[in-house]
Structure 1
């Protein structure tokens, strides 16, 4: 988790780090920031960001688009670990 924390900057309005969600799967850990609700509900939503995968095989880090978990994991399997 420490490796992931250094990759995600502050996301809240006061500059405190956001929560990180970790989802374990067979060959890695999918990590993404959970963005807090804005104090002003009329503020438009924030888009973008990325997912981070830490490989269980060698600890390598891979950045993926901010897709839903199942889609991001499938992309990781295809692109980064095609023979895993």
Structure 2
């Protein structure tokens, strides 16, 4: 499946398959694949990895690793768009603002 002629997804599972075919699979600290989650919204599917909470040797919780991104698979075109690793609603709002600016 190429980015030039993508097939639009009709289910969250199809959106995950598109992301897996176009991007490197995120890994957990032990090297195993990180689980991917999907948040469906009117214009697309927000696909992102989930990392378990970690603690230091004393049991104190550690912050999530910095950086990363989330991927939006656009429902009507199958196009993929990366957005920063923001909370779900903030990532979707950024996607909407970027789309409006392009129009």
Structure 1 unaligned residues grouped into runs of 5+: none
Give the superposed CA RMSD.
2.1
- The CA deviation at 1:13 is 2.4
Give the alignment's TM-score, normalised by structure 2: 0.68
- The CA deviation at 1:8 is 4.3
Give the aligned partner of residue 39 of structure 2: 23
What secondary structure is seen at the aligned counterpart in 2 of 1:75?
A: helix
Give the alignment's TM-score, normalised by structure 1: 0.81
Paired residues for 1:1-84 under 5 Å: 1-6=16-21, 7-38=23-54, 41-42=55-56, 44-45=62-63, 46-80=65-99, 82=100
Structure 2 unaligned residues grouped into runs of 5+: 1-15
Does 1 or 2 have the higher relative contact order (CA < 8 Å, sep 6+)?
A: 2
State the Cα deviation string for residues 24-65 of structure 1 (Å, max 9, x = none): 000100011101334xx2185311110100000100000000
Larger Rg: 2
